[in-house]
Amino acid sequence: MNENLFAILRSRFPTDSSTVFIETNCGQLMTYADMLSRSGQYANALIDLGLSPGDRVAVQVEKSLESLILYLGVVRAGLVYLPLNTAYTISELKYFLSDSEPGLVVCRPDREEGVRAIGGEARVKTLENGGKGGSLLALVDAASTSFEDAVCSGDDLAAILYTSGTTGQSKGAMLSHRNLSSNAAALAETWAFTARDRLMHALPIYHTHGLFTATNTILHAGASMIFLPKFDAEAVISLLPQATSMMGVPTFYSRLLQCETLTRECVEHIRLFISGSAPLSPEVHAEFERRTGHAILERYGMTETGMNTSNPYDGARRAGTVGFPLPGIELRIADPESGNELKQGEIGSIEVRGPNVFEGYWRKPQKTLEEFRDDGYFITGDLGVIDDKGYVNIVGRDKDLIISGGFNVYPAEIEAAIDSLAGVAESAVIGIPHPDFGEGVVAIVACKPGSLLVEDDIITPLSDVLARFKQPKLVFFVDALPRNAMGKVQKKEMRDQYADMFKGTKT
Ligand code: AMP
């Protein structure tokens, strides 16, 4: 059997190929039949360029219908898709291109010269913003639409996605056809996606969330998407009446809540709102439910594993938790040093094993070895605990753990306590070098519009609810927390910014 991801998804496509696959907000419409022939043209054009199975195709272009079909064409041809964040500068690209040694780089025309200068042996082709032109498109337009999917084994690589590298150098996570197809099947089943679904897709497609979690799941269900080039709260709200479901990062939901146009009527046809990539605050969860009647379903995953856990589709969606392991995926909470499984209720390292777990880091065998236990479990780098009902709770990244005066402080607990205070919009808790305690707890707080808080408004109420060693020693106020495009709070950036705050503190 051909285990090529596309061949597996294709076996699930609607029998009526005139079924819509994608509709954009600017009136473009693509049926399953159109997608099949267009991705065939991409696959033919790539093979005609001399690429062969296993070659990497690095892509740094804006989100568009064409750039999504390029992904499918790469997979069909048995090549390795390597998307790059559109925000990377030419000097940042240099590392990715020299590390991955792609056979082809696809970039915007205005980047062509810069990419040629750093791209080594790679060929360079272009795709204009919006997929409206470029040298790759010219080849694709001229190529044949019929293409026989390359025969792949489940272990063959389908993609390499570089991790966001917030704590060190970015690493290429190697994802196989099996990793991606197994996760699409598990998600379509868990979230009950069917051909009747129409997903609101406003996520970027250079990241696992928008590329795999959203697109592959929809293809697996033979369903359709409303495709927006980027998230725009008002545009999303105006199109929600035509959707049945939405996947987003937590910031999408807090931005939607800021719009008065978000009403129960506009979400009448929606059966499911899903959130992930960063923690969804219980306050946003509660407020969204109050406004719309929908309990957002929160799930947990990462570049290296795809999705690992999800709150239940039927059953209680517990705010502040990420639910249960997906079908076929094992998850344990282990002692970070020994890897021995801990008792329920104890905080430890979240480790996962299953067909979703990646093949290792590209050309980093030592790093790969370090991140796996002997029994095959992958050490996610997240810390968590399983509650009395079996729901997984994430307490933070291992590297964000604060050790103050010898005690472990889990930022998520302090952030939840701060977020529940009146007037607080959001908060981040970090550890800063402290001459006496090793690290001192520091809170960075953004207030809700119209409220003006001072340090005591945060510290005083916390003194009743948190042990002394967990209480912030300093509070800084900001307009908004620094986040990346996936809504992840940039803690390293804040640790650097506030690094000297305890310097000179008397012990
Ligand atoms: P990425 O590889 O960019 O997808 O980032 C993965 C990381 O995002 C995970 O290891 C977690 O630290 C974090 N993450 C993803 N989903 C959630 C969630 N629902 N709650 C808290 N953290 C999350």
Tell me, in angstroms, the distance from the centre of ligand 1 to residue 488's CA: 8
Residue 243 within a domain: no
Ligand 1, residue 161: give the atom nearest the CA: 2
Q: Which of 348, 376, 397 is the last residue of a domain?
A: 397
How many domains does one find in the chain?
3
Tell me, in angstroms, the distance from the centre of ligand 1 to residue 28's CA: 32
Question: Are residue 133 and residue 14 in the same domain, yes or no?
Answer: yes
Q: Checking phi first, is residue 320 left (phi over 0); if not, alpha (psi -120 to 50) or beta?
A: left
Closest Cα to residue 397, out of 430, 433, 356? 430
Residue 248 within a domain: no
Output DSSP code: residue 246: E
Report the amino acid identity of residue 101.
E
pLDDT for 504 equals 77
Domain CATH number, residue 455: 3.30.300.30
Return the residue whose CA atom lies nearest to atom 15 of ligand 1.
Answer: 277
Ligand 1, residue 486: give the atom nearest the CA: 3
Q: Which of 359, 380, 397 is the last residue of a domain?
A: 397
Instruction: Using a pLDDT cut of 70, give the percent of the chain over it.
Output: 99
Number of C-alpha atoms within 13 angstroms, CB side, residue 236?
27
Q: Residue 275: pLDDT above 90?
A: yes
Residue 492 within a domain: yes
Q: Residue 310: pLDDT above 70?
A: yes
Instruction: Give ∠ CA 460-441-499 in degrees, rounded to 5.
Output: 130
Return the residue whose CA atom lies nearest to atom 21 of ligand 1.
Answer: 279
Q: Which of 352, 374, 397 is the last residue of a domain?
A: 397
Residue 136 banded pLDDT, cuts 50, 70, 90: very high
Tell me, in angstroms, the distance from the centre of ligand 1 to residue 266's CA: 29
Dihedral (CA of 309, 314, 315, 317) sign: positive
Question: Are residue 65 and residue 156 in the same domain, yes or no?
Answer: yes
Question: Are residue 44 and residue 185 in the same domain, yes or no?
Answer: yes
pLDDT for 2 equals 97
Question: Are residue 377 and residue 448 in the same domain, yes or no?
Answer: no
pLDDT for 507 equals 53
Q: Residue 165: pLDDT above 70?
A: no
pLDDT for 459 equals 95
Mean pLDDT of 301-325: 97
User: Tokens 């104890």 correspond to what residue?
Assistant: 346
DSSP bridge pairs for 109:
none
Report the amino acid identity of residue 130.
G
Lowest mean pLDDT among 242-251, 273-282, 406-415: 406-415
Return the residue whose CA atom lies nearest to atom 23 of ligand 1.
Answer: 278
The Cα-based distances of 420 to 281, 283, 416, 461, 481 in angstroms read 9, 7, 6, 11, 17
Number of C-alpha atoms within 13 angstroms, CB side, residue 405?
9
Mean pLDDT of 57-86: 97
Residue 93 within a domain: yes
Q: What is the pLDDT of residues 337-372, one digit of tens each?
A: 999 999 999 999 999 999 999 999 999 999 999 999
For the chain, give the number of residues: 507
Residue 346 within a domain: yes
Question: Are residue 373 and residue 451 in the same domain, yes or no?
Answer: no
Question: Are residue 273 and residue 195 in the same domain, yes or no?
Answer: no
What φ, ψ does residue 285 adopt, rounded to 5°?
-55, -50
Pocket lining for ligand 1, CB < 6 angstroms = 163-164, 208, 276-279, 298, 300-303, 322, 380, 382, 394, 397, 486
Mean pLDDT of 72-96: 95
Residue 247 within a domain: no
Question: Are residue 175 and residue 94 in the same domain, yes or no?
Answer: yes
Q: Which of 356, 382, 397, 398 to mutate to test the pocket of ligand 1 (most atoms within 8 A of CB)?
A: 382
3-state secondary structure 435-461: CCCEEEEEEEEEECCCCCCCHHHHHHH
Tell me, in angstroms, the distance from the centre of ligand 1 to residue 32's CA: 32
Ligand 1, residue 304: give the atom nearest the CA: 2
pLDDT for 333 equals 98
Mean pLDDT of 254-278: 95
pLDDT for 305 equals 98
Domain extent, residue 153, equals: 5-230
Tell me, in angstroms, the distance from the centre of ligand 1 to residue 281's CA: 14
Output DSSP code: residue 313: S
The mean predicted confidence, pLDDT, of the chain is 95
Question: Are residue 386 and residue 407 in the same domain, yes or no?
Answer: no
CB 283 within 8 A of CB 261: no
Q: What is the pLDDT of residues 44-55, one digit of tens each?
A: 999 999 999 999
Question: Are residue 387 and residue 420 in the same domain, yes or no?
Answer: no
Mean pLDDT of 450-459: 94
pLDDT for 232 equals 97
- Structure-token pair, residue 459: 């510290």
Return the residue whose CA atom lies nearest to atom 1 of ligand 1.
Answer: 302
Domain CATH number, residue 285: 3.40.50.12780
- pTM confidence score: 0.92
Cα dihedral value 144, 145, 151, 152, nearest 10: 110
Question: Are residue 477 and residue 441 in the same domain, yes or no?
Answer: yes
Residue 237 within a domain: no
Q: What is the pLDDT of residues 364-422, one digit of tens each?
A: 999 999 999 999 999 999 999 999 999 999 998 898 999 888 788 999 999 999 999 99
DSSP output for 396-411: EEGGG-EEETTEEE-H
Question: Are residue 40 and residue 134 in the same domain, yes or no?
Answer: yes
Mean pLDDT of 315-330: 98
Lowest mean pLDDT among 39-43, 484-488, 494-498: 484-488
Report the amino acid identity of residue 123.
R
Tell me, in angstroms, the distance from the centre of ligand 1 to residue 397's CA: 9
pLDDT for 471 equals 94
Question: Are residue 279 and residue 303 in the same domain, yes or no?
Answer: yes
What φ, ψ does residue 83 adopt, rounded to 5°?
-80, 145
